[in-house]
Structure 1
């Protein structure tokens, strides 16, 4: 329990650093280093038929309507949207520092920015300069090297006039717009990138740590987890704009990679969950739920990779909201049934669900993205802890089963009264020892012992007292034998010893010690009487012509000779 608390404390400390970095990136200084644009006017161009000259003409003023939300939030739509706004006056900022116009959504496909300037320029003499960016456009269109879309406001920029935006995208058109002073933007971007580095580092460390475990344990559950986090990492690297920033590839390939990674992340999340929660083939209803999730996950890739991004977006958003809720319900069900590792799994998907809800419903895109990023990082760590807990439980179960197996195996091979091996064990051990001795050409001796007049002792003093004699004799045997010399209770008062690497002479010395020690032992069957009991011993050594039956028969004859010669003696044959 203490180790688990230490792990959770370390996780929370790391995530606190991550959250601090992202928060610091958003802090505004008292000198108004940044300004968030909030008053937008929107025009939806359903067919994409209007150009800038048309929408910027006075005749179209009434076509624009006031946007009710503080950020540009237009959902998923195939339409082209025209947006206009008036930035604050320049005296709002430090006039000595250049100004930057920042759009915080790297997934926008096409972004055209029309900025009013004092000189007549590109846009058909209407004194506007055009700047273009977007995921569909080549990296050379990026004016400032940043994952988001950032432009410098030209020095001839005209205050008090509308800046126009033309937006077109197949992803969610949620677009915060900010004006920054250049030095403060650089500072905020540095902190933001540190936060992203921590985030990607957490996911990458989870991938490599658990990949090592995959190679060691060969466990498919770990493999599915690694693939889920790996594809989630690439998807996040892509969706936050960093892949496009570092790798300028054709948009179709970029888009295909995006949807492939998202589809794979959904798919391996389902496979991992089914394996982790131990969904068996006989649980038909649960199996169908996971098969449906897997089918929808694959369908996202089938739609998105060829370019049907809008239906793929709708499907991915729906599945992204429903899938964690399904996993939470199943994890709770498993936890209620006694599967303890499900608690980490339950927390992981619960936190991710909160992050997804925050991403959907929080009005500020930067804050919502940070919440989802933190939730994803924490989910990856908690799932790794869930795997560790699952492995620990499985290991404990396996050790218990192994211990029980050894216990019952030993129980089946040992005599309950004396603790010596029983006749069943003798049959297997004797065959093995004879085979090894004949193969390697080493000595093997057999000793058969019979306690003298044991039946009379039992009849005179009772079975319980007779058992004390058997236990006492067993202790004498164990005292005189080493680990390689095996003693067996053959049945009743008969005992057998296998002695590898010993010939008849060496064996007879051990036999004499046993006979002498046992004869010297005193038993007290009644309070007023002490009794001494003796043992007869027969010995024989394996020859090249012997088999199991021949060796045993010859040794038994030696025992018979010892008994007929007066008992309490050792005979070699």
Structure 2
């Protein structure tokens, strides 16, 4: 027998009561998820293409890395101005950077970069203006000091702005950038001051303004597809939640909503719309990152019911939930450095713990584990690549895109998993309904004759009488008893007596309508309920059964053509009469038939 837990009952009931709609939802779900999965693969290809680097032919790629051969100085206290930094006393304190990327010092320290724009560099990119991009959203603030003979100290201050309001050529973009014109002198130095509230590694990329505009448009397209996918999955599963009222869909929605806020904050898209303070930005980032980790663990626990299936590993998953709350708390009190390192640990090992949970539950026979496992492998891979990319260990991959692509693919695959879960629960609901029908039928049916039993008669008759009163119809009840059945049993044995009872049951079933029902009232006593039937019609049915049964010859043992008769009592329902009284009147008529010589039908007054 298939058992159903109380926590699953509501969902089973919803699925059972909306079977057709659920089937249509499943078909649409699979098509929608497949479409977005193909879209994700396309986005993945776009991301790799965007990051393809032709270092030996930079002009074909319309970009140059200024980081190599630039000069770096870290102001540990963060209190030096450009007047001192650009003075001859500090000239030799700058160190040559030979790497394509540079590491930013964490506040309060400031990172200074000194570089030139030689004619050869600008010629490779074509005519100006040009755009200098800090190719990472992890930089909080940046100020560029451009050579200008008319400015104080010969340097004009320009602040980076993601919203594109500092310069008419500026483009709204998630990474900090500057629009540059031709320098007054090719030997003049530019000074760039950068601030970061967390560890960051980034290159300085120079593009023509048109090239940067195309690059930014392409970047918007890729991230738009990723966020759009997560958003569509969110609203689709919110619709499913309102249809099925299963809280796992609400947890999924909260999980995806956390992603949908966290990644635009992390990747800098929010900064193109809202002028938000970096410290406040960090607070919101940690809040939604902690929320995404918390709801990811909550989803896993609900999806696999880990507290039942793998209780020991459930403690590990719950520990990451606690860690997520700690990340939120650290962000709220401004301890961003520790929140960042704890987030990297939770981001790297949290998905791994969910993968292990999926493997363990899959070994226990949990359905849909394959979808869940694949989803978290993508999330784990994207997170790991991003961590390595942000530390400068992995370079030639689009870490920011892959980090966002992982959750987008996970959103689609988890929707697959939830759809498969609905399909399984629908199948289980049908199996439960069939099982319940079998056991219900067994509890209401006589095992020997196949007719209903007395319990069914007493339950059903009350309802039939209520319908008869409500519709103003008539109802008749026949009760019959096999004549001299004890003597037949004693003479020929109980197996032969059983044949007599089975034969009478077969004749009853063949002689009544579909809406009528016969019951084995007890021992050799039977009843027939005839709804919407008048006394005359009921009498015809009773006489037909009595005559057919009396004409049937039995061959018990060596005896041939032994005939058995049946006595009957017939009662017509009187409005307002109870089931017990109706049965009593029919039974009294039966005993009158017995007293009058048997093989008779007596109608109650």
Q: Same fold (TM over 0.5)?
A: yes
Deviation at 1:357, TM superposition (A): 1.1
Q: Structure 1, unaligned stretches of length 5 or more?
A: none
Mapped partners of 2:135, 2:286: distance in 1: 21
Asked if 1:213 is matched to 2:209, the reply is: no
Q: Distance in 2 between matches of 1:537 and 1:262?
A: 80
| Residue 172 to residue 391, structure 1, CA distance change in 2 (3 Å) | farther
1:289 aligned residue: 316
Mapped to 2, the partners of 1:238 and 1:461 lie a distance apart of 91
1:174 pairs with 2:201: yes
Structure 2 Cα separation of the partners of residues 69 and 99 of structure 1: 22
1:54 and 2:84 are equivalent in the alignment: yes
Q: Does 1:34 pair with 2:59?
A: no
- In the TM superposition, 1:416-565 aligns within 5 A as 416-434=447-465, 436-437=467-468, 442-525=473-556, 529-544=560-575, 546-565=577-596
- For residues 331 and 131 of structure 1, what CA distance do their matches in structure 2 show? 52
**Alignment CA distance shift 1:36-1:528 (3 Å):** farther
Alpha-carbon shift at residue 134 of structure 1 (Å): 5.6
Q: Is it true that 1:261 corresponds to 2:295 in the alignment?
A: no
Q: 33, 45, 50: which is aligned to 1:20?
A: 45
Aligned-partner Cα distance in 2 for 1:543–1:326: 71
Give 1:337's aligned residue.
364
Q: Which deviates the most, 85-94 or 258-267?
A: 85-94
1:109 is aligned to 140
Partners of 2:267 and 2:400 within 8 A in 1: no
Please give the alpha-carbon distance, in whole angstroms, between the structure 2 residues aligned to 1:26 and 1:55.
34
Give, in whole Å, the separation in 1 of the partners of 2:579 and 2:263. Answer: 71
What SS does the corresponding residue of 1:314 show, helix, strand or coil? helix
Counterparts of 2:537 and 2:144, CA distance in 1: 103
SS at match of 2:440: helix
Is 2:398 the partner of 1:367? yes
1:184-228 Cα deviation digits (max 9, x unpaired): 222222222211111111101110110001101111111001111
| Structure 1 position 232 matched with structure 2 position 288 | no
Q: Is the 8 A contact 1:21 1:194 kept in 2?
A: no
Q: Is the 8 A contact 1:540 1:551 kept in 2?
A: yes
Q: 1:539 to 1:68 in 2, by over 3 A?
A: farther
TM-score for both structures, normalised by structure 1: 0.89
Corresponding residue of 1:125: 153
Q: Is the 8 A contact 2:290 2:327 kept in 1?
A: yes
For the 8 Å contact 1:103–1:148, the answer to whether it is kept is: yes
Deviations 1:481-506 (A, max 9, x none): 22332211112221112223333333
Task: Encode CA deviations 1:145-164: one digit per residue, 9 max, x unaligned.
Answer: 22222222212354355432
Counting matched residue pairs gives 565
Gap regions ≥5 residues in structure 2: 1-26
Contact 1:445-1:499 at 8 Å conserved across structures? yes
Q: Please, what is the CA RMSD of the aligned residues?
A: 3.0
Aligned to 2:273: 246
Task: Give the stretch that moved more between structures: 271-280 or 223-232.
Answer: 271-280
Q: Deviations along 1:500-522, whole A, 9 cap, x unmatched?
A: 33333331122122223333445
Cα pair 2:317 2:354 within 8 Å, conserved: no
Contact 1:256-1:307 within 8 A present in 2 as well = yes
For 1:168 and 1:18, the matched residues in 2 are separated by 31
Q: Which residue of 2 aligns with 1:93?
A: 124
Partner of 1:44: 74
| Structure 2 residue aligned with 1:385 | 416
SS at match of 1:125: helix
Q: Is the 8 A contact 1:75 1:174 kept in 2?
A: no
1:309-339 CA distance string (max 9 Å, x none): 2222222222211211121122211111111
Greater mean deviation of Cα atoms: 238-247 or 411-420? 238-247
Distance 2:292 2:555 in 1: 78
Q: Distance in 2 between matches of 1:403 and 1:141?
A: 71
Task: Tell me the distance in 2 between the aligned counterparts of 1:284 and 1:94.
Answer: 61
Cα offset, 1:47, TM superposition: 0.9
Q: Following the alignment from structure 1 to structure 2, what is the Cα–Cα distance between the partners of residues 75 and 278?
A: 44
* In 2: Cα distance, 1:390 partner to 1:23 partner: 34
Counterpart Cα distance in 2 of 1:335 and 1:462 = 57
Choose between structure 1 and 2 for higher RCO, CA contacts under 8 A separated by at least 6 residues: 2
In structure 2, the CA distance between the partners of 1:42 and 1:91, relative to structure 1 (3 Å rule), is closer
Q: Aligned partners of 2:165 and 2:338: how far apart in 1?
A: 30
